[in-house]
A and B are shown apart, each in its own frame.
Chain A
Amino acid sequence: MQLTVWTYEGPPHVGAIRVATALRGVHYVLHAPQGDSYADLLFTMIERSDKRPAVSYTSFLARDLGADTAELFKEQARAAAERFKPQALLVGASCTAELLQDDPGGLAKALGLSIPAIPLDLPAYQRKENWGAAETFYRLVRGLAAPYAPGPDEELSPRLSDSPARANILGPTALGFRHRDDLQEITGLLERLGVEINVVAPLGASPADLARLGEADFNIVLYPEIADIAARWLERTFKQPTVRTIPIGYGATRDFVREVAELAGVDPEPVLAEARCRLPWYSRSVDSNYLTGKRVFLFGDATHVLGALRVAEEEMGFKVVGLGTYSREWARDIRAAATERGLTAVIGDDYLEVEKAIAEAHPDLVLGTQMERHVAKRLGLPCAVISAPVHVQDFPARYAPQMGFEGANVLFDTWVHPLMMGLEEHLLGMFREDFEFHGEAGPSHLPAGGRRATAEADEAPAETTVAVAAAPGQPAWEPAAEKELKKIPFFVRGKARRNTERFAAERGVSTITVDTLYDAKAHFGN
C-alpha cells in the first residue's frame, strides 16, 4: 500500500477514456462500479467539453455482485453499441472490475456485434493514466491497421518523386495539455513545408483513419508518453521512420523542421527564414538581462520537462537547479539530463518529495504542474505551468500552443510573466515605507480625504530595537544589520538574507551583525 494524497496521474482507464474521447466513432464500454463516472467531469469541466466523453459505465452495485455482473456488462455493451452507433467498440475493466472474474473481451465477442470490439487489458494496480492512453492507442492502431500491413516479402511501393510527402501526426488526445493548439501550430508548419497530413491520431481520427495509417511516408510523434509504442509498431510494420524531435522552443522547432524536411525531401530554409518567432529577439533585448542565471526548477511529464530544459538554458539564459518527472517510463532520459548537470533528478509521484527538492534548491522560478504551482505559492516563489496535470485555466480560450514558433513566444511570455510579477511585488515592498506608497496612503487619483485608514497593522517593521530571531535555532539579526540589509537592492535582498543566515548558521554565529553580512557577501562572491 502506498499512502497518497495527491496523484499526478489517474488510473489507466482514464488514459483509455482520453483516447476514446479524442477519436471519432469509437466508444468505450467500461466495466466499473457506480461512482467511476466522476471521470466524466474532467472532460466536461476542465476541458470544458460540450459533449460527454465517449464512455459508458456498467455502474454495478453491491447487489449485482455474483453471476450478475457479466450479464450486466453484456447488456450495457449492447445498449452502448446501439445508442452511440460507433464504428469500433473498446471494452475493458476499471480497477474494481479487474478484481471480478468477468472477461470484457470474451463477453463482447459473445455478443456477436457487427463492429470490432477491441479488448483493453489495463493493469490498474501497476500502471497509470499515460500508460493506459499509450496502450489503448497502440491496441487500436494495431487492431485496425494490421490488416493492411505488407507481407514479409512485400515491397512497399515508393512514393512518386513529384507527389508531396505524407505524414501522420501521433499523440494529441482529449484532456491533453495544449494539444489542441500544438496541433494547429504543427499542422501549419507542415503545410508551409509542403508536407501532406495523412492522419492525425487519436485526436479527430476515426477507425477508418487508423486503418490507413500505413499510407504515410513517416510519423511525427508529438507526445511520446501517448504515441511512442504505437509509432514503434508502425515503424516495424510499415517501415515508416519517426520524427522524434519534440518542437518545444525555438531551437527544437528549427531542428524539428529540418528533420521533417529531410524525411520529406524538401528544403527547410524558406520556412525557417520566414518563421515569425519573437523569442530570440526578446531574449536578446537588454530588458531580458536580468533573466541571466535565474535559478529554475523543472518538474512535469518527461516530454515537457526535457523541452523546457533546453528552452531554459539556451533560450532564456536560466540556470537549471533541479529537475524531475512523474513519468517513470521516461526516468532514464531525465536522470541522464540531471547527471549531466551535476544534479539528482526527482523521479516519482510523491509531491512531498518534489516539494522538499524545490525548497532545497532555492529556485527563483518553478516550472511545473498545477501541483508545483501550489507548492511555489506556499514557498512564495514565482511559477509557471509547463505540463499536465493542469486545472481549468490551462485549457484557455485563446490560442496558446507550447510547440512551434508561436509556442516559443507563448513560453517566453508565460515564464517571464511571474518573474515580472515578482519584480512588481518587490518594488511595492521596497516603496512600502516611502512617503507616497506606505500602507495608509490612499489611491493617488483620489483627493486627500480619500486616504483610507487601514485596520491591519502595516507589515513593514518600524524601528526595531531588539534583535529579531529568524526562526527558532536560526541566527538573529541585529537591528543595524537588518537596516543594512535593506540597503541592498531589493531583487537580491532575499538571496542575501538566505546566504547570510546560512553563513552564520554554518559558523555557529548566533547574532548577525553588519560585519557578518559583508563576510557572507565576500564568502559567496556576490
Chain B
Amino acid sequence: MSGPAACQTPPEVLHQRGPHQMFCGLTGIVWLHRKIQDAFFLIVGSRTCAHLMQSAAGVMIFAEPRFATAILEERDLAGMADANEELDRVVGQLLERRPDVKMLFLVGSCPSEVIKLDLDRAAQRLSGQHGRPILSWSGSGLETTFTQGEDACLAALVPHLPALQEGEAPGLLVVGTLPDVVEDQFARLFEAMGLGPVRFFPGGRAEAQPPVGPGTRMLLAQPFLADTARLLEKRGAERLAAPYPFGEAGTTAWLKAAADAFGVEPGRFDAVTAPGRERARVALARHRERLDGKRIFFFPDSQLEIPLARFLSEELGMAPVEVGVPYLHRTLIAEDLARLPEGVVLSEGQDVEKQLDRCLAARPDLTVCGLGLANPLEAQGLSTKWSIELVFSPVHGYDQAGDLAELFARPLIRRGLLKV
C-alpha cells in the first residue's frame, strides 16, 4: 500500500473562484479546545469573529468554554503600539481569571491580519511574561478554510514537540484530532498487532505532547493536515501513504500501511483486524441497499470530501457526480483519489452560484453541503446531508463505519417516511 497508487484516468478538475459558502479556520477551535483540555484559544479579531464562534459553538458557548475573542475596537486600530499593549492587558486579565490554563493560543483573524498585528511576536513576548507556552496561528478566512484551522494550530505546535530521547523508540504517530473513543479503538488494534509505541497528536494535555524525530512514522488520520505533515517531515518523521480510515476498506488499508511499515506478519494483521472488519461489513450491509446506485454531489467544506466519496462509492455503491474540495492536496489524497470511480468531476475552490447551477442541473439523490445551503436546496426538492456533522461526529474506524453510512442514509430514509 505504500507509495501513491496510479490513477488510470486522472479525474477532470474544475478550478473555481468566486463567492464562497465555507467557514473560516476559526471554527476549528470548537473541536480543538475539547481535545487539548488545558489549552485556551484567544481569537484576536472583531465582533464578527465572536459572533461566528457563538453561532458555530451553539450551546457549548455556555459551558465556560476555553475560547474567547479579544474584540478590536476603534482605538486599537489607531496605532500598532496601542494594540500590542491592549493585547498584553487582555491576556493578563484572561490568565488571571483562568490560572488553570497551561497553554494559550493567540489565534489570528482577518482583521488582525489586515492591520498586520504581529501575533507571533506577541506570543513570544507573552510566553516569557507568563511562564507558560503561548503560541500563535491564523484561523482567518483569508488564509484558512474550516478544517485548515486545525492544520494551522497543529503546525504551530510541531516546533514545540519534544525531540525523541536517546534510545527512545520512534514508533508511530497518528496525526489529526480524533474523538477519544476512536483513538482508543485504534490504540487497541495497534497494540494487538504488537506495533508501537503509538502516540496521538494532538495529545489531550498541553504539556504532554508526543515526541517526534528521525524514524517516526506518521499516519494522517485527517486529510487536511498539509502544513502539519510538512513540518513533521522536517523534523524527521516519515509519512505512511494510505487512504483515510473511513469504512471497512479504508480503515483496513490505513492500518495495513502501519502494519507493513512495522513488519507485522500478515497472518497476525488479519487475525487482529478480522473481528472489526466483520462488524463493519455487517453494519454497512444494512445501508448498502438504500445507498447503492444513488448519485451524490459534494459542495466543498472540509477536505474530507474525497475520502468520503471514496468510501461511499467503493463500499456502498454510491455514484459521486461532483466532488468539491476547498483545496486539493494531491499527494496527501492520492490513495483515495485513485480509488474514485471513472467519470467523477472534481472541483477545487468555489463559485457558489455556478456550483448551485451545476447541482440543480444534475439533480443528485443526495447533496452534501453546509447549513447555509441545505434548507434552500431541500426546498427545491433535493435531499441534503449537512456537512459539518461529518467533522463533529465519530466517523473513523471499523466501529463507526455503520454510523458514517447512516449519516448519509438518514436523509433518504426520512424522505421516504414523510407523507407531508
Contact = CB atoms under 8 A, between A and B. Distances in A.
Contact of A35 (B18, B22, B76, B113): B22
Contacts of A219: none
Interface in B27-61: 44, 46-48, 50-52, 54-56, 59, 61
Contacts of B55: 38-39, 41-42
Given A1-B76, A3-B70, A374-B59, A36 B48 contact: yes
Interface in A1-22: 1-7, 9-11, 13-14
A2 B142 contact: no
A233 interface: no
A60 B74 contact: no
A104 to B, nearest CB: 15
Contact of B374 (A4, A44, A378): A44
A37 interface: yes
A149 B47 CA distance: 37
Interface centre among A1, A9, A76, A83 (most CB of B within 10 A): A1
A99 B115 contact: yes
Interface of B: 18-26, 44, 46-48, 50-52, 54-56, 59, 61-62, 65, 67-74, 76-77, 83, 86-87, 89-90, 93-94, 110-111, 113-115, 140-143, 145, 353, 370-376, 378-379
Contacts of B54: 6-7
Given A3-B93, A34-B145, A62 B113 contact: yes
Interface residues of A, number: 53
A60 B46 contact: no
B50 A4 contact: yes
A125 B46 contact: yes
Contacts of B50: 4-5, 7
B94 A3 contact: yes
B61 A5 contact: yes
A126 interface: yes
A440 B21 CA distance: 53
B47 A41 contact: no
7 contacts: A5-B68, A6-B54, A11-B48, A33-B142, A35-B26, A124-B47, A125-B72
A33 B110 contact: yes
B23 A35 contact: yes
Nearest to B85: A1
Nearest to B26: A35
A329 to B, nearest CB: 16
Contact of A11 (B47, B59, B143): B47
A59 B19 contact: yes
Contacts of A42: 55
Nearest to A47: B375
Given A35-B24, A124-B47, A57 B19 contact: yes
A51 interface: yes
A94 B140 CA distance: 14
A95 B46 contact: yes
Contacts of B56: 38
B43 to A, nearest CB: 9
Given A4-B71, A125-B72, 17 more contacts: A4-B70, A34-B20, A34-B24, A35-B22, A35-B23, A36-B24, A37-B22, A38-B56, A39-B51, A41-B372, A44-B372, A45-B375, A50-B379, A52-B376, A62-B113, A95-B47, A374-B59
Contacts of A57: 19-20
B47 A96 contact: no
Contacts of B376: 44, 49-52
A100 interface: yes
Contacts of B68: 3-5
Nearest to A351: B62
Interface in A101-140: 123-126, 128
Interface centre among B51, B56, B89, B93 (most CB of A within 10 A): B51
A130 to B, nearest CB: 13
Interface string A77-104: 0010001000000000011100110000
A58 interface: yes
Q: What 6 pairs between A and B have smallest CB-CB spacing?
A: A35-B141, A35-B24, A40-B372, A50-B379, A96-B110, A59-B20
Nearest to A30: B19
A40 B21 contact: yes
Interface in A48-68: 48-52, 56-62, 65
A9 B54 CA distance: 11
B51 A10 contact: yes
B22 to A, nearest CB: 6
Contacts of B62: 6, 371, 374, 378
Interface string A124-166: 1110100000000000000000000000000000000000000
A30 to B, nearest CB: 10
Nearest to B142: A62
Contact of B141 (A33, A50, A56): A33
Contacts of B74: 123, 125-126
Interface centre among B44, B115, B372 (most CB of A within 10 A): B372
Given A35-B110, A51-B376, A10 B48 contact: yes
Contacts of A40: 21, 371-373
A7 to B, nearest CB: 5
A5 B43 CA distance: 10
Contacts of A10: 47-48, 51
Given A6-B61, A37-B21, A65 B114 contact: yes
A128 B47 contact: yes
Contacts of A6: 54, 61-62
A390 to B, nearest CB: 13
Interface centre among A38, A40, A96, A100 (most CB of B within 10 A): A38
Contact of B46 (A11, A41, A56, A59): A11
Interface string A287-329: 0000000000000000000000000000000000000000000
